[in-house]
Amino acid sequence: MSERRYNAFVDILKERYGSRLQKLVVDAGFCCPNRDGTLARGGCTYCDNNAFHPSYSTPNKSIVRQLEEGVEFHRRRYPRAEKYLAYFQPYSNTYAPLEKLKSLYGEALAFPGVVGLAIGTRPDCLDGAKLDYLASLKASGKVVLLEIGIESCYDATLGHINRRHSWAQAEEAVCAAAESCLNPCAHFIFGLPGESREMMLEGAAKINGLPLGSVKFHQLQIIKGTPMEREFAAHPERFVTWTLAEYIDFFIDFLERLRPDLPVERFAGEVPPRFVNSTPWGLVRNVDLLRMLEKRLEERETYQGAALRNYFKTV
């Protein structure tokens, strides 16, 4: 049993599957409806997908080649990893006809050592047929982690950053995935323009109301060449920024408001230095960030859900 002061998703995976499940990022050449003209052009204002996935993962390589290189890439860091998830990460990885998805996912699942899929997508790129297919994979014994990018709890923010979906659509997608027994993950970003610290903290109540299997958080990182970079340069007053110590304390304040039964996959992100104009936190690895979070939780003598002591009496 974990002795952490927060509900860590990695502990659940290890307990459930007996070992680490290493994600191997796959770029299968997907797009997004807010990028190709279906809903809008340009995509999310903060987005440059090259900054968020490793160099071995490029769409000009076959899925098998990407997985082969991914195994070699991670073997140096995690030499004991034997089970893998094909992580369809860049852009919206259910934004294609179902038959194409079956072909791409099937190719990945046939790769030696791959025991399942992790799939990043948007709320408006899921439908009943796709959810039924993913549920059938899970029922057959495959691991299926469905990550739905929501990013903000506020429609004004979603409109401002060109997401082109609403909070209501996000709720609907999460509920549909949960009804299909997929235990969806939701992804959120802290520090988007126009959101105050208080607004971000209040978002915990909205997240608590979703039937999620896990949740993932990142701090906003300003990527070179994006519309967000230009907005930040012109209007820095629209943004909440943190030092590393300030962010950890902010996240603990948020964590205290997050229901304790909701597993947390990540609380911060890493972007290679070449994609950003500054690295205010330095080059701190995720494993070190987690140690710092746990140390600060101990120093503050607090834990996930501390502000919701009566939570289980009311649900």
Q: For residue 1, is pLDDT > 60?
A: no
From the number of C-beta atoms within 10 Å of its C-beta (0-12, 13-18, 19+), residue 182 rates as buried
What percent of the chain is modeled with pLDDT above 70?
A: 96
The predicted pLDDT at position 51 comes to 66
The predicted pLDDT at position 56 comes to 84
Q: For residue 157, is pLDDT > 80?
A: yes
Q: Comparing 19 with 198, which gets the higher pLDDT? A: 198
Mean pLDDT of 7-36: 93
What 3-state class would DSSP assign to 186? strand
Quote the mean pLDDT of the chain.
93
Order of strands, edge to edge, in the sheet holding 143-151? 21-26, 83-88, 114-121, 143-151, 185-190, 214-219, 264-266
Domain 9-314, what fold? Answer: TIM Barrel (3.20.20)
CB-based contact 173:134 (threshold 8 Å): no
Cα separation of 105 and 94, whole Å?
10
CB-based contact 268:284 (threshold 8 Å): no
Mean pLDDT of 25-32: 96
**Per-residue model confidence as pLDDT tens digits over 111-144:** 999 999 999 999 999 999 999 999 999 999 999 9
- Helix/strand/coil percent split, the chain, to 5: 40, 15, 40
Mean pLDDT of 11-31: 91
The predicted pLDDT at position 3 comes to 81
**In sequence order, which residues have a C-beta less than 8 Å from that of residue 239 and are 6 or more positions away?**
191, 193, 220, 232
**Per-residue model confidence as pLDDT tens digits over 240-250:** 999 999 999 99
What percent of the chain is modeled with pLDDT above 90?
A: 81
Mean pLDDT of 278-290: 81
CB-based contact 75:67 (threshold 8 Å): no
**Per-residue model confidence as pLDDT tens digits over 65-122:** 999 999 998 887 777 778 999 999 999 999 999 999 999 999 999 999 999 999 999 9
Give the pLDDT band (50/70/90) at residue 57: confident
Distance of CA 97 to the CA centre of its chain: 23
The predicted pLDDT at position 314 comes to 47
Mean pLDDT of 217-229: 94
Q: Is the dihedral of CA 284, 287, 293, 299 positive or negative?
A: negative
Cα separation of 70 and 56, whole Å?
7
Q: For residue 48, is pLDDT > 80?
A: yes
Short-list 190, 303, 289, 294, CA closest to 256: 303
Residue where the block lists tokens 């899929």: 117
Residue where the block lists tokens 């007996």: 18
Helix (H) / strand (E) element for 121: namely strand 114-121
Q: Comparing 63 with 80, which gets the higher pLDDT? A: 63
Give the pLDDT band (50/70/90) at residue 313: very low
As a residue count, the chain comes to 315
The C-alpha torsion from 227 through 229 and 235 to 239, rounded to 10°, is: 110
Give the pLDDT band (50/70/90) at residue 312: very low
The predicted pLDDT at position 272 comes to 74
Q: For residue 2, is pLDDT > 80?
A: no
Q: For residue 52, is pLDDT > 70?
A: no
